[in-house]
A = this chain, B = another copy of it.
Amino acid sequence: MTTPSTDTRARLLDAAERAFSDKGFDGAALREITTEAKANLAAVHYHFGSKEELFLAVVARRIEPLNRERLALLDAAEAKAGARAPALEDVIEALVAPMLRLARDEARGGAAFVRLFGRLQNEPEAIWRRILGGPLAEVRARFSAALARALPELDRGELAWRMHFAIGALCNVIVDRQRLELLSDGQQSSEDVEGAIAHLVPFLAAAFRARTRPSPAQTRSARR
């Protein structure tokens, strides 16, 4: 923040973003990152303290503008609805589209960052928890409230489950761009960002509006 005298720090962030994106947290080697950044191995520990902190710094740098964009879209959706509840499709798109579009914005991390973020899911749990509780906390709270307003008849517990499912669907698109090609025998490609948005938003909107469990299994829920 205060000492941009040397840009070693920035070069490390850029190199780390690429490396983590390509190989994941464990797969990327600090020696490779520092070599590409033309910095010494120990520079990482001087500037960031550890590999995990470096990773979090990479995420934090990109996620703050992204979150501002999401919240701005949510504000717009709520303004458009006036006193009424915002449209469900608009809320979902505000959450989902900025992340997917980021994949095409090389100046702000591009595909590398987006894939890196998707990977967060399965990286050491401590990392994900720190991000959900830190830079993502406000987004989580605002969108949780907006979805509850858009779906007033929905039980809050049910809503939490559905948000959980929706995050999974979003992350899956983000992580591996070749898996869809396997599933469609090469017909579809996740490279098509606007296509992904056009498919994902109606999918999730319909899912959020699903009627709650009409049928069985409820009978033997002897739990608690």
Q: Does A72 contact B (CB under 8 A)?
A: no
**Given A140-B183, A160-B183, A209-B223, are A194 and B217 also a contact pair (CB < 8 Å)?**
yes
Task: Pick the residue among B175, B190, B207 that contacts A122 (CB under 8 A).
Answer: B175
> Interface range on chain A: under 10, 10 to 19, 20 to 34, or 35 or more?
35 or more
What is the copy number of this chain in the assembly?
A: 2
- Provide 27 A-B residue pairs closer than 8 Å at the C-beta atoms, listed in order of the A residue: A24-B124, A87-B219, A90-B216, A118-B122, A121-B122, A121-B175, A125-B176, A125-B178, A128-B176, A129-B178, A129-B182, A132-B179, A132-B182, A161-B180, A164-B172, A165-B204, A166-B169, A168-B170, A192-B223, A194-B220, A195-B221, A197-B217, A201-B213, A205-B210, A206-B206, A206-B209, A209-B220
Q: Is the interface of A mostly helix, strand, loop or mixed?
A: helix
Interface residues of A (CB under 8 A from B): 24-27, 87-90, 93, 118-119, 121-125, 128-129, 132-133, 140, 144, 156-158, 160-173, 175-176, 178-180, 182-184, 187-188, 190, 192, 194-207, 209-223
Task: Pick the residue among B89, B184, B203 that contacts A218 (CB under 8 A).
Answer: B89
Q: Are B160 and A165 in contact (CB-based, < 8 A)?
A: no
Residue of B nearest to A201 (CB): B213
Docked Cα-Cα span, A188 to B156, in Å, equals 10
A135 to chain B, nearest CB (A): 14
Task: Pick the residue among B25, B119, B199 that contacts A213 (CB under 8 A).
Answer: B199
